[in-house]
Amino acid sequence: MSDAKRATSIALLIAAAVLGGIVFVTSAANLTGLAGLFGQADAQRASDEEAVATAEDLGQAFSSVAERVNPAVVQVRATKLSTGRRDPFSMFGGGGGGDQSGLGSGAFVSADGYVVTNNHVVEDADELSVVLFDGRELDAEVVGTDPFSDLAVLQVEGDDFPSVGFGDSDALRVGQWVLAFGSPLSEELSNTVTSGIISSLGRFSGSTDPRGRPTIANYIQTDAAVNPGNSGGPLVNLRGEIVGINSAIATRTGTYNGISFAIPSSIVRSTVEQIIDNGVVERGYLGISFREAPATLRRRNGVGPGAAVVAGVSEDSEGRTPASDAGLRVDDLITGIDGVTLTDNRQIVSLISNKRPGDAVEITYNRDGDERTARVTLGRRPSAEDISQANPNARPNRQREPARAPARAEVLGMTLQTVTPQTARQLGGNVQGVVVVDVERSSEAFRDANITPNMVITEVERQPVASVAEFEAALADVKRGDTFLLRVQAGRDASFLTALTKP
């Protein structure tokens, strides 16, 4: 073979080798990519399995809590013997014609037979029994009740009962898992367990119960399913500790609509301990009446939305005035208690009432724009009846005077009229000032100052005004753009401080 042909053959072999290498490398790369796809699928499968394992772990946690707590949960059966009369506020409802029964839930909180439940479950009952997890039905006696917190403690004879302890409701966080236990709707549904999360904390309802009695009204909100019959049952965390006692639902149908409320364990524990130790509950008392501070007054003094304005001073059950003795006055704006900044004025009730007589609290308040503190030694809370009678109605002036057309004025979005003796009697007292006949809904007076028709303005900038003319004269002394104070009487005895800005 010639040298030329040999060189050509070698070149062709080299070219073929190079091309073969390229094809090999390309094929290897493609195979490597395919292997990557297989790897991604394996990773996704592993991730899915991990998610399933996590869900199964949560389910196991629920089951473990249910197995630990359920033996301590009881069904409370209450019977009211027929008297032929109906109490519209009783949970038993109905009228005459036979005994009436009610259903609730509860939980053993000690091995010696003490059971916590709601006051409204047992109130008015003539006979009580509890049905245990093992099916036994035992007679129960009321150790003590506390309508103020809607809690009650029962006791059954015996010992060695399974019980559940208390957790720290103050450590709860929104989004945390909880389980609700109880007997919803029917005796046949005893020891039902539902799950949910903490939807919100510090929910405040009205300040009175259906019978008009004052209440703490500070609740944990959860979406765990709670229905009639669940009342008094425990709300527990994943450690199996009571963090609340189920008490109420928000509903338009009478059954569960996704919003349930529980009394925090911080209140439950203190109440239960006092009832077991003493049979009664003694609560601390600040010795004031208060209301939400109007937005205009808050802006004027530079305080937050939860501030409460002191509307009056009252005595405790021993005749002391704790807040007044510590320097607080009517019209002061309370902004915090023991370092807790108020986000809702109704927090005062729960923060103070969960303490005991003799406890000292630090009150942060604002007086005319200056922030101050006072250390108050709490008194003993009077009974609901004593509180309602603390401010007796003023005797109306019965003097008869000739009728006359009262002066009127339209100012700051309000229609004002001088209070005549006849108007004063209609308002239920001997009051002087200008009555708000009407107020525009878009005005600052209505929107931010909380002024509504039939209220009476008695002071402008802390000076009494007895007529429309005096009101207009006082207003003339206020500079445009300045915010000025008004004292307003709402009802026979209740008055509060508010503010308006002169345009």
The amino acid at 168? D
List the catalytic residue out of 163, 199, 231, 270: 231
The pLDDT, as a whole number, for residue 161 is 94
The pLDDT, as a whole number, for residue 402 is 39
Kindly list the structural domains of the chain, giving each domain's residue range(s) and its CATH number in brackets, ordered by start. Answer: 70-155 (2.40.10.10), 169-278 (2.40.10.10), 284-388 (2.30.42.10), 408-501 (2.30.42.10)
**Rounded distance between C-alpha atoms, residue 235 and residue 256, angstroms:** 16
Local confidence band at 398 (pLDDT 50, 70, 90 cut-offs) = very low
For the cut 70, the answer to whether the pLDDT of residue 455 exceeds it is yes
Strand runs labelled E in 212-354:
218-222, 234-236, 242-249, 260-264, 284-285, 288-292, 308-313, 333-337, 340-341
Local confidence band at 29 (pLDDT 50, 70, 90 cut-offs) = very low
The pLDDT, as a whole number, for residue 23 is 42
Local confidence band at 27 (pLDDT 50, 70, 90 cut-offs) = very low
Residue 57 annotated to the active site: no
The pLDDT, as a whole number, for residue 420 is 81
CB-facing half-sphere around the CA of 502: CA atoms within 13 A:
16
List the catalytic residue out of 105, 146, 149, 150: 150
- Radius of gyration, CA atoms only, the chain: 35
Strands 192-204, 408-411: pairing kind: unpaired
Instruction: Please give the model's pTM, rounded to 2 decimal places.
Output: 0.70
For the cut 50, the answer to whether the pLDDT of residue 12 exceeds it is no
Least confident of 67-71, 287-291, 346-350, 458-462: 346-350
* 225, 260 contact by CB (below 8 A): yes
Local confidence band at 38 (pLDDT 50, 70, 90 cut-offs) = low
Local confidence band at 26 (pLDDT 50, 70, 90 cut-offs) = very low
The pLDDT, as a whole number, for residue 37 is 57
Which DSSP helix (H) or strand (E) runs through 418? strand 414-418
Most confident of 42-51, 232-241, 252-261, 374-383: 232-241
The pLDDT, as a whole number, for residue 396 is 32
Can you tell me the mean pLDDT for 197-224? 76
Strands 360-367, 379-380: pairing kind: unpaired
Least confident of 82-86, 134-138, 340-344, 488-492: 82-86
Q: Per DSSP, what are the bridge partners of residue 249?
A: 260
Local confidence band at 392 (pLDDT 50, 70, 90 cut-offs) = very low
The pLDDT, as a whole number, for residue 14 is 45
Residue 120 annotated to the active site: yes
Q: Average pLDDT, whole number, for the chain? A: 81
Residue 170 annotated to the active site: no
More confidently predicted of 15 and 424: 424
**Rounded distance between C-alpha atoms, residue 503 and residue 411, angstroms:** 11
The DSSP code for 315 is -
For the cut 80, the answer to whether the pLDDT of residue 405 exceeds it is no
The pLDDT, as a whole number, for residue 18 is 44
**Rounded distance between C-alpha atoms, residue 331 and residue 308, angstroms:** 9
The pLDDT, as a whole number, for residue 365 is 96
Give the tens place of pLDDT for each residue, 80-109.
876 555 544 444 444 445 567 788 999 999
**Rounded distance between C-alpha atoms, residue 464 and residue 458, angstroms:** 6
Local confidence band at 495 (pLDDT 50, 70, 90 cut-offs) = confident
The DSSP code for 383 is P
The pLDDT, as a whole number, for residue 56 is 77
End-to-end Cα spacing for the chain: 115
Give the position of tokens 């290897």.
Answer: 28
List the catalytic residue out of 110, 120, 314, 448: 120
For the cut 60, the answer to whether the pLDDT of residue 345 exceeds it is yes
